[in-house]
């Protein structure tokens, strides 16, 4: 008996629809399988690291960290870890290099990022910046000299006026040439000409303090916390650390990246992470590994700053 024409037509149509569905599913499923087998790689961000205790502390002495989990518990790296954990869209790599090499590579158009650079007019030509926290006592530059030289400044009032000290000409200083000490001090060092301390490229902060202890010069400029860390590490107690008027206006500490499209995107992500952290009801828990390093006055100042950061929009320069 022959099947009715309508039944045959319906059966054929069902078979055709099933075939098309299978083909479509196969076509869609194949890319999904390929994507699962080969997930899209995250963009890589390379961050500058340096052993600058207590600001940036290598967890394993002498061994630069390469991943976020390797970061130590210094003032800079602790905050760096907190913020970069809020940027999972990136793969973060940590790279150790001298400041001069970092600057050279960035000016060549390569993309690198840093939590170690202060914002200066010159650096705005080759770095994007976003602010992280206001000036803290631990980040104020001081005059560092040997104890036997301290009597030469007994007549000076504290905090010292660096410009007056430089005009005296009876103390020989030495600083790293590729370093910024904040906008006010940088301007003074440029303005005084040959009365400025000698500037030598490529010297680490620890090397400068070693040279000062060895009487290679009379003074240098450094953070008091850095001097304290050097003395703890070496067991020496050679130095007097005196505050400077000009460092009281030190700039807000920022994060920065190369002025490339990729660098701009990373700075925007850091800014978003900072504002997210500022608004987080659990922010004190998140920040405790960092804020315990600060004095009571610095902590109060920092949280007041976060309240303002939480209310505002992006801050990119």
Task: Give residue-wise pLDDT tens across range 131-157.
Answer: 998 877 766 889 999 999 999 998 888
In a domain, 18, yes or no: no
Q: Residues of the chain whose pLDDT is less than 70?
A: 1-39, 138-139, 248-251, 293
pTM above 0.85, yes or no: no
Would 22 be classed as within a structural domain? no
222 located within any domain = yes
- The tens digit of pLDDT for each residue in 78-130 reads 899 999 999 999 999 999 999 999 999 999 999 999 999 989 889 999 999 99
Residues 91 and 165 in one domain: no
Residues 151 and 131 grouped into a single domain: no
Does residue 266 belong to any structural domain of this protein?
Answer: yes
Residue 244 lies in a domain: yes
Number of domains in the chain: 2
Quote the domain boundaries for residue 158. 141-249
- What is the Cβ-side half-sphere exposure of residue 10, based on CA atoms within 13 angstroms? 5
Tell me whether residue 240 is in a domain: yes
Q: Does any domain span residue 4?
A: no
């Amino acid at each position: 008996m022959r099947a009715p024409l309508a039944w045959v037509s319906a059966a054929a149509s069902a078979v055709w629809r099933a075939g098309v569905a299978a083909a479509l599913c196969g076509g869609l499923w194949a890319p999904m399988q390929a994507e699962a087998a080969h997930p899209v790689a995250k963009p890589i961000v390379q961050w500058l690291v340096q052993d600058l205790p207590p600001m940036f502390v290598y967890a394993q002495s002498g061994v630069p960290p390469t991943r976020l989990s390797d970061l130590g518990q210094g003032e800079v790296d602790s905050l760096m870890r907190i913020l970069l954990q809020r940027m999972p869209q990136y793969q973060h790599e940590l790279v150790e290099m001298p400041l001069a090499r970092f600057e050279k590579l960035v000016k060549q158009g390569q993309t690198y990022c840093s939590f170690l650079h202060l914002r200066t007019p010159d650096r705005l030509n080759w770095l994007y910046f976003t602010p992280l926290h206001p000036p803290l006592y631990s980040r104020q530059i001081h005059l560092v000299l040997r104890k036997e030289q301290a009597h030469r400044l007994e007549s000076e009032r504290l905090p010292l006026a660096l410009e007056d000290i430089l005009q005296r000409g009876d103390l020989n200083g030495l600083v790293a040439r590729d370093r910024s000490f904040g906008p006010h001090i940088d301007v003074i060092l440029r303005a005084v000409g040959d009365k400025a301390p000698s500037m030598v490229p490529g010297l680490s902060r620890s090397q400068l303090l070693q040279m000062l202890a060895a009487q290679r010069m009379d003074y240098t400029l450094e953070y008091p916390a850095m001097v304290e860390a050097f003395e703890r590490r070496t067991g020496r107690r050679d130095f007097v650390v005196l505050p400077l008027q000009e460092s009281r206006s030190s700039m807000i500490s920022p994060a920065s990246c190369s002025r490339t499209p990729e660098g701009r995107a990373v700075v925007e992500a850091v800014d978003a992470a900072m504002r997210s952290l500022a608004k987080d009801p659990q922010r004190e828990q998140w920040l405790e590994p960092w804020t315990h390093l600060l004095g009571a006055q610095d902590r109060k100042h920092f949280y007041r700053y976060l309240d303002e950061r939480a209310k505002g929009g992006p801050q990119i320069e």
